[in-house]
Structure 1
Amino acid sequence: MTGAHPPVPALYSCRITHIRTAPIRHVMRHRTYLWLVDPDSPPVLPLVLRPLARFRPADHFGGSDPSIRAGLERFLATRGIQLGGGRVLMLAHARVLGHVFNPLTLYWCHGPDGALRCIVAEVHNTYGERHCYLVETDGRSGSEVPKEFYVSPFFPVEGAYRMRLPLPGERLDLTVSLHRDGTRPFTATVRGRGGPATPGRLLVAAVRHPWSTLAVSAAIRHHGIRLLLRGLPVYPRPRPRPHAQEGS
């Protein structure tokens, strides 16, 4: 798969929707903004705006790599994949005013010829754990991967995710759905529109969504309490595996 890469850095104003259909129906909608960046060339903001957007290696993969790209390449090496210097595009929340929470960070990984080689989906839960999925791409820039990581206390670690993850352009249109026993009890979508990450656009986004990443984690906990009060059963959290913490 080849084609022109979108200009980066870019900002996407978006709406995130979680639809739970079993055993009860529940919908969560949240508006926020996301960054699309080249981790080899993170955005350089005016000094006064830097607290609004920081991208730290400690916030991704094992947290001990010298750069985000190094952490990604270490993970890919464990899967036998080398990018040969090909470009990577990352969609994520930035660290805002010292806080960051990324339920899902996506990395579109290209080879030296510009062809899309794979996508890495890095998942964080609210327990401070992280795990990476290698998504082999097809014509729709997505595929199915077994669920291997505890995210919601209301779902066991079983089933499979079907991911449709086209590279963002002017529009952002992503879908991740959980499939279990012939059913689809959970679907998450991210829809939005993007444009250049100018200081003006960042200020507008920050005013509209102050403490954006803190709001994301607060919304997840708020809806979790609502589900608990509605009597949804809780599945115990399994003991974290070492590679889940290391992002591999």
Structure 2
Amino acid sequence: MVSAAPALYRVTVGHVRTVPWRYALRHRTYMWLVDPDRPPRLPLPLRPLAGFDARDHFAGDRPTIRAGLDAFLAGRGVDLRGGPVVMLTHARVLGYVFNPLTLYWCHTPDGAPRCVVAEVHNTYGGRHCYLLETDAAGRASTDKEFYVSPFFPVDGRYRMRLPAPGDRLDLTVQLERDGGRPFTATVRGTRREVRTRTLLGLALRRPWSTLAVSAAIRLHGIRLHLRGLPVQPRPHDRPTHPENVS
């Protein structure tokens, strides 16, 4: 089972498109691994650098992030019976947060893996969650059900590799359409203990980290559109009650 002790991951996020031509980007940032039952509460001077708010996840109407997760799972017939969960996410930094992907590794009370929940946010304010049954290597697949990139319609299937984080983080999400894989996203990183010096160093190197992620997505979208990639119509976003970039 993954340790519930808070940790920081210095990560590189990569996106590769292969249709209609190859386009790749890399973005460096950092993410938190926390217990959604008990997210870390930093000393007062550091709190603007890391906040974890239940309003930023699931329907946003539960008192805690874990309560939101349990409500989502209950709606799908899953009861962890209080089993431990670890969450990989961006924290709210200087009052702003954008989480393209938050992952929850869920366990039974004896620590055995039960499922993974992938919570996806788009830049239009929508959010959606996928309940995933993973194999021993962390592999899972699911139909795409949520509009994320303006250049892909809501069709196809995701194939994911989401092994539980350890000293290294190594995640892959691929979109399959029409027999090919036009999009691949990766998250690679190394674990760091949560120390004041570590957090300050990451925050200084990546100021406004979550705002930078949101801005980078929009900037690359503009570049792709200027190169002639057509925008796909956006369906009406579904509500964010218990229920997911490419």
Aligned: 1:100 with 2:97: yes
- SS of 1:227's equivalent in the other structure is helix
Q: CA deviation at 1:7?
A: 5.2
The AA in structure 2 aligned to 1:163 is M
Contact 1:130 1:246 in 2 (8 A): no
| Gaps in structure 1 of 5+ consecutive residues | none
1:83-122 pair list within 5 angstroms: 83-122=80-119
- SS of 1:18's equivalent in the other structure is strand
Aligned: 1:127 with 2:124: yes
CA RMSD of aligned residues (A): 0.9
Aligned to 2:65: 68
The AA in structure 1 aligned to 2:8 is L
Aligned to 1:59: 56
Structure 1 Cα separation of the partners of residues 241 and 198 of structure 2: 34
Contact 1:135 1:142 in 2 (8 A): no
The AA in structure 1 aligned to 2:153 is P
Residue in structure 1 matching 2:188, options 179, 187, 191: 191
Aligned to 2:150: 153
Aligned to 2:241: 246
Structure 2 Cα separation of the partners of residues 9 and 228 of structure 1: 39
Aligned to 1:77: 74
Residue in structure 2 matching 1:20, options 13, 17, 30: 17
Instruction: Give the aligned length.
Output: 243
Contact 2:4 2:35 in 1 (8 A): no
| Gaps in structure 2 of 5+ consecutive residues | none
Q: CA deviation at 1:142?
A: 2.4
Q: CA deviation at 1:44?
A: 2.0
Structure 2 Cα separation of the partners of residues 181 and 144 of structure 1: 16
Contact 1:18 1:186 in 2 (8 A): yes
Q: CA deviation at 1:193?
A: 0.2
Q: CA deviation at 1:69?
A: 0.4
The normalised TM-score by structure 2 is 0.97
- SS of 2:182's equivalent in the other structure is strand
The AA in structure 2 aligned to 1:69 is R
- 1:172-195: per-residue Cα shift (whole Å, max 9, x none)? 000000001110000000001012
Q: CA deviation at 1:70?
A: 0.5
The normalised TM-score by structure 1 is 0.96
- SS of 1:246's equivalent in the other structure is coil
Structure 2 Cα separation of the partners of residues 147 and 7 of structure 1: 30
Aligned to 1:215: 212
Structure 2 Cα separation of the partners of residues 247 and 130 of structure 1: 10
Aligned to 1:45: 42
Structure 2 Cα separation of the partners of residues 73 and 240 of structure 1: 23
Aligned to 2:141: 144
Structure 2 Cα separation of the partners of residues 28 and 87 of structure 1: 35
Q: Give the % identical residues.
A: 67
Residue in structure 1 matching 2:173, options 173, 176, 184: 176
Structure 2 Cα separation of the partners of residues 153 and 220 of structure 1: 11
Contact 2:4 2:85 in 1 (8 A): no
Q: CA deviation at 1:27?
A: 0.6
